[in-house]
Amino acid sequence: MPYVDGFVAVVPKKNLAAYTAMSKKCGKLWKEHGALQYRECVGDDLAAPVGVPFPKRVGAKPSETVVFAWIVYKSRAQRDRINAKVMNDPRIAKMMTGRPPFDCTRMSMGGFKTIVDM
């Protein structure tokens, strides 16, 4: 079963274009190093009829939006190898200089075992 890294981030709407450009570069790196899929999705219909809506859960302001993202790997072992390669890639270090287009301290992430894959 595939292994997935999942992310939720809060992005100021005015920074969405810069965030998207950064995400495309990141996706290219992860795919180049072996990730099976790289997806970043911006909130569109966030008025959840059940549960806690994403904006409320993450404390997003009206001027912010929520990004939901995931990277798919063959296994956790492959994920660990790929992430090590990405973190040692000089291109990622270059992207980490300066001020990012989102607040990294408000990002949530984690690795997930797949339990259903249809």
Residues with Cβ < 8 Å from 40, sequence gap 6 or more?
A: 20, 23, 27, 67, 68, 69
Q: What angle do CA 58, 61, 67 make, to 5 degrees?
A: 50
Task: Give CA–CA dist 71/40, Å, rounded.
Answer: 9
Is 63 a member of any domain? yes
Is 33 a member of any domain? yes
pLDDT tens-digit profile of 2-46? 999 999 999 999 999 999 999 999 999 999 999 999 999 999 999
**What is the percent of the chain where pLDDT is above 70?**
100
CB of 65 closer than 8 Å to CB of 15: no
Average pLDDT over residues 66-79: 98
Alpha-carbon torsion (16, 102, 3, 29), positive or negative: positive
Is 81 a member of any domain? yes
Is 117 a member of any domain? no
pLDDT tens-digit profile of 91-118? 998 888 888 999 888 999 999 999 999 9
Q: Residue 46 has what pLDDT?
A: 92
Is 118 a member of any domain? no
Domain count, the chain: 1
Task: Give CA–CA dist 114/6, Å, rounded.
Answer: 12
Task: Give CA–CA dist 117/115, Å, rounded.
Answer: 7
CATH assignment of the domain containing 105: 3.30.70.100
| Domain assignment of residue 9, given as a range | 3-112
